[in-house]
Structure 1
Amino acid sequence: MGKKNRKKDRAAKPKRQEVAFVERPFEGLAGETDLVAMRELLPSASAPLKLTGDLADVPVLLVTLLPEMWPALRREDGTVVVALQAATRSGDASRDIAHAIESAAALAPGTPLRHVELPEPGPRLQDIVDPEAAWELTVHDDFAYWVDPSAERSPELDQALEQAAEHIVPSAPVAGVASAFWCRMGKEYLRWVRPEDEYSLLDALAKLHTDGATQLEDGTRLIGFFRSCGLLVPVWELNPGSEADELDAVAAAFEERLGKALADDAPLTPEQRSARSGLISREVTLR
């Protein structure tokens, strides 16, 4: 092919449109903070989605992870299972997931979506999810949701699921508060995805810190925070041996203190500004 023909061929191909970056991709969705936790923190969790429009009849299950990092699969019963922890990521996580749902819904039942191209601009989760539907997150200690409920189980399959579960970091939600998750990684920690504007939250935490009020209880300490999908995730180191079901009262008490600090619109004092700088220095950015 001559140079002239190559130029003509390149000119004939439309330029790919890139998805615009969205700092807070799940904003406006009922499960925003849980979606961030599923995408970044939880090893195994699931949540059903109810869609609208042309996809209203397609049952969807969001999960943290699928085998071999598949973006999605379509079960024999027609359910579309979509992984939030997938390799394909554009600048908008909401668009990525909606695109995976659309792609998997077009597959024949019983087919995995092994790979999906980066999407171009199009519908986001906010455009296809029923805004009236309830949100319900379930944290698992295995990957049983990988298997179609109607599929016949075999010893080999059960062994594969057991081996996968061995690598799961023990995690559990804390009752009574939203999107606070206990985990055990050598030590015990609480990771709490917060819905507030990050600057307001940092100011409130700084005010609590100078009052000695960031502890959940004696012996615990706020060690820093993650930033992901436009939200902050404060992390506490807990007392050795702490369990998730022991944290509901102290977490609720902290949330009450935090609410009062968020409502306090007084400017930061020099001591509080120093505390804020100290918090920022302990940030770890995930995405």
Structure 2
Amino acid sequence: MAKRTAVKDAVKDKSAGGVNPRQPCPCGSGKRYKACHGAAGGAADVIVSRPFEGLAAEAELIALREFVPSATVKLPLKDGAAREVTLATVLPMAAAGLVRADGTAFVGLQVQTRSGDLSRDLARAVRWALNAETGDALPVVGPDNGDDPGRLQDLLDTGATLSPDLHADFAWWLPPDNEPTGDVALSLERANAAILPTERVDAPDVEAAYWVDAGDKAHLRWVRPEPEETLLAALARLSVRGELDLGEGSRYAGSFRAHGLLVPVWDLDRELHSSEWAPGAEALGKRVSDALAGLDAEPLSEAERRARDGLRGRQITLR
């Protein structure tokens, strides 16, 4: 049974334990039921602030969506999928999906969303890719036609992690020995010109952390899975101890919110190779874990609370 139908059926009979319109919607959006699946039009217009929640790959998906320029990774689809589907950061002319001339199926992450739920839009693109013909392209997802494609969580192995392949350009858009022409060639040229050199930080227990060369300086952007307030408290504790860095040549710059998670950012000495920051990231990750574990036993001190307020003031939200 489709999720929207199942949720609506839950309120048909109040005596059977239906949903109070003022209670959180069972779909997990965080909205009251009357403003979500209980509203006219269902969930199509509801903004889901954390679309990848419940997926082990949540943080990696956010990184690929928001700041990794050129990367691909096979989607861990559940058994029975008609074909392999490759998730791509961006496709030619920002298409939502395409099946290349060699039969490789892609869906794009960096596209204009057509509903309030990015996971739902991606699910529709994946379902399209599973059935599309060679050479087909899906320019955009939607608009919503009333069907219920489910969500990405319904299609993927929720416990699977992602290890994307990063690319220096977008040559992978085309099969080998295939020269681009027309709009595709123009789109490829523009996309290549906009790439910032980016590397995934390869260190034990470090996931969704990326080194980015922004020209005048380099950054480390690290998508963290913890609840925002809990993470801020741990970061504040490290800040007071002078331990909120990755070693010499690094400085905590602030953070931004993306799709429900916090992404701390560090400024780095760009003269150092990206791999040279891996030990510092590993050590910082261990300090963050220890600080998180100690929060229940030892509440924040006055100095740490002030530090937390300072860190909170250095945040922005990506919409």
Q: TM-score, normalised by structure 1?
A: 0.86
Residue 180, structure 1, aligned to residue 205, structure 2: no
CA deviation after TM superposition for structure 1 residue 251, in Å: 0.6
SS of aligned partner of 2:269: coil
Residue 250, structure 1, aligned to residue 280, structure 2: yes
Q: Deviations over 1:201-224 (max 9, x none)?
A: 010001111111101112311110
Q: Deviations over 1:214-265 (max 9, x none)?
A: 0111231111001011111000001241221111111111011111100012
CA deviation after TM superposition for structure 1 residue 108, in Å: 2.2
Q: Do the aligned partners of 1:51 and 1:58 also contact (CA within 8 Å) in 2?
A: no
Partner AA of 1:192 in structure 2? W
CA distance in 2, matches of 1:90, 1:277: 34
Q: Which has the higher contact order (CA 8 A, sep 6+)?
A: 1
CA deviation after TM superposition for structure 1 residue 99, in Å: 0.9
Aligned to 1:114: 139
Aligned to 2:227: 197
Aligned to 1:32: 58
Aligned to 1:169: 196
Q: Do the aligned partners of 2:196 and 2:212 also contact (CA within 8 Å) in 1?
A: yes
Aligned to 2:269: 239
CA distance in 2, matches of 1:240, 1:132: 35
Aligned to 1:10: none
Aligned to 1:207: 237
SS of aligned partner of 1:212: coil
CA distance in 2, matches of 1:212, 1:53: 48
Aligned to 1:217: 247
Aligned to 1:94: 119
SS of aligned partner of 1:247: helix
Q: Do the aligned partners of 1:205 and 1:276 also contact (CA within 8 Å) in 2?
A: yes
Aligned to 1:4: none
CA distance in 2, matches of 1:145, 1:179: 22
Q: How many residues align?
A: 270
CA deviation after TM superposition for structure 1 residue 25, in Å: 1.5
Residue 141, structure 1, aligned to residue 168, structure 2: yes
SS of aligned partner of 1:87: coil
CA deviation after TM superposition for structure 1 residue 159, in Å: 6.8
Q: Deviations over 1:98-120 (max 9, x none)?
A: 11112333432111111221445
Q: Deviations over 1:12-41 (max 9, x none)?
A: xxx744334332211222321110001111
CA distance in 2, matches of 1:260, 1:201: 12
CA deviation after TM superposition for structure 1 residue 191, in Å: 0.5
CA distance in 2, matches of 1:95, 1:256: 35
Q: Do the aligned partners of 2:127 and 2:149 also contact (CA within 8 Å) in 1?
A: no
CA deviation after TM superposition for structure 1 residue 53, in Å: 6.0
CA distance in 2, matches of 1:223, 1:37: 18
Q: Do the aligned partners of 1:25 and 1:94 also contact (CA within 8 Å) in 2?
A: yes
CA distance in 1, matches of 2:79, 2:150: 11
Q: Equivalent pairs: percent with the same residue?
A: 44
